[in-house]
Structure 1
Amino acid sequence: MSGKTTSARPTPRLYLATPVVTDPAPLAASLPALLAGADVAAVLVRLTESDPRSMITIVKALAPAIQSTGAALLIDGHPDIVARAGADGAHLTGIAALEDALPSLKPDRIAGSGGLSTRHDSMRAGELGADYVLFGERDAQGRRPSPDAVNERLAWWAELFEPPCVGYAVSLKEATDFVAAGADFVLVDDLVWSDARGPAAALGEIATAIRNVHAAAPVDAAGQS
């Protein structure tokens, strides 16, 4: 990996994670309009553990609704079914999972990396060829770093490394703070799906807030906001 270039920073984009999908039909029906209303770069599909054929069937049912909008479809884990399901890549949790998945995903598909609890793990993921690194997600016990710790990790990564960094946000404030810290993407899930106004209103609000924070960010002499 090399240091960041000095070109102006693009507006950060959204990365939407689905609830765990058992019946894809309702989600497939609602996703096109939802994704059309905000700048969503990718959708992370979460699957119930099942046999490969059943999981592939679910992903194939969702793929047109996601990919037709220009968003990438990533599967949470299960790199072995990515190609057969027509997905664009997988999100892997932990360095071991990333290492195991890279031969089946590269060079044609996306390999994202999360579960990176230390700076060393983050740098290792980048060295291995992760297409992005995710900071701030919950661990297996439901715990996650403090927002300040996530901000610090995003700022450190954004300043020094080339692969994009993603901040996992559980509130609108976190989403905007992570953008200000340097996140290239903001991952959202329950923040959207649990909003009483509906997911479209929630996603639109987050997208607008991200654009506003990015537009207000100062640009240094090198052109990096």
Structure 2
Amino acid sequence: MADTAARLYLITPVLEDASFAPQLAEACATGAVAAVLLRLAPADERTLINQVKALGPAAQDNGAALIITTDGKADLATVAARAGADGVHIQGDPGLVREWRERLKSERAIGVGGIRTKDDAMTLGEAGVDYLLFGEPRRDGSLPSLESVAERVAWWAEIFETPCVAYAPALEAVETLAATHAEFVALGDAVWSHPDGAAAGVKAAADILARQEASR
């Protein structure tokens, strides 16, 4: 079980070009972001590599790890290696996890989402992932209940050593998910659509996590 405060993990909208870089840099410049999941629209490998190279510094130069994902058929392992990303993220597929673990060795992180059951989570953990993401929006945009996500994350954090990420659909959910002892709390629209800007969204979430840690 994690004994330290959860850290922030940001999930971008699906991006088709590098125009999101200033907003990403604004969020990461706070120094409170541990990792960014860059969601890339389907494209050929060359386009994706160029896109990651253009967007990456906004996160990496501010101390955040850069993880990439896409729904397209491009070879993300190759894209990550050539573009300098810190890791890749895939939807629950133990076979693909094992293949990429073999190819990427320990040089880059492998994260996984789209986890439906506890059995799936355990299988993926055994396949060699570096973290599991629970509670993110489904493909149709719907969300599992906060209660079910908190229960699943608390179960995982209590028993297993592989880190987990808990997705918070709103800032109001951060405290509940941090209390599960997840290593990371993920935010998406709650940061990017914050009325005072992305940096304000990050700072608000970081303040909640700091208060949570102080109360332990």
Shared fold (TM-score greater than 0.5)? yes
Say yes or no: does 1:92 pair with 2:90: yes
Say yes or no: does 1:13 pair with 2:21: no
Say yes or no: does 1:72 pair with 2:65: yes
Q: CA RMSD in A?
A: 1.6
Distance in 2 separating the partners of 1:106 and 1:123: 21
Distance in 1 separating the partners of 2:26 and 2:5: 22
Provide Cα deviations, 1:156-212, integer angstroms capped at 9, x if missing partner: 111111011110111112111000012110111111111222111111101111111
Runs of 4+ in 1 over 6 A off after TM superposition: none
Distance in 2 separating the partners of 1:21 and 1:171: 21
Provide Cα deviations, 1:21-40, integer angstroms capped at 9, x if missing partner: 2231x432343342121411
Equivalent in 16, 19, 40 of residue 22 of structure 1: 16
Distance in 2 separating the partners of 1:140 and 1:33: 27
Distance in 2 separating the partners of 1:138 and 1:116: 11
User: Which residue number corresponds to residue 49 of structure 1?
Assistant: 42
Give the TM-score, by structure 1 length.
0.87
User: Which residue number corresponds to residue 223 of structure 1?
Assistant: none
- Larger Rg: 1 or 2? 1
Give, in angstroms, the shift of residue 144 of structure 1: 2.5
Distance in 2 separating the partners of 1:27 and 1:138: 21
Counting matched residue pairs gives 210
Aligned AA for 2:41? T
| Structure 2: segments with no counterpart, 5+ residues | 71-75
Aligned AA for 2:110? A
Alignment of 1:182-221 (within 5 A): 182-217=181-216
Distance in 2 separating the partners of 1:98 and 1:73: 18
Give the TM-score, by structure 2 length.
0.91
User: Which residue number corresponds to residue 122 of structure 1?
Assistant: 121
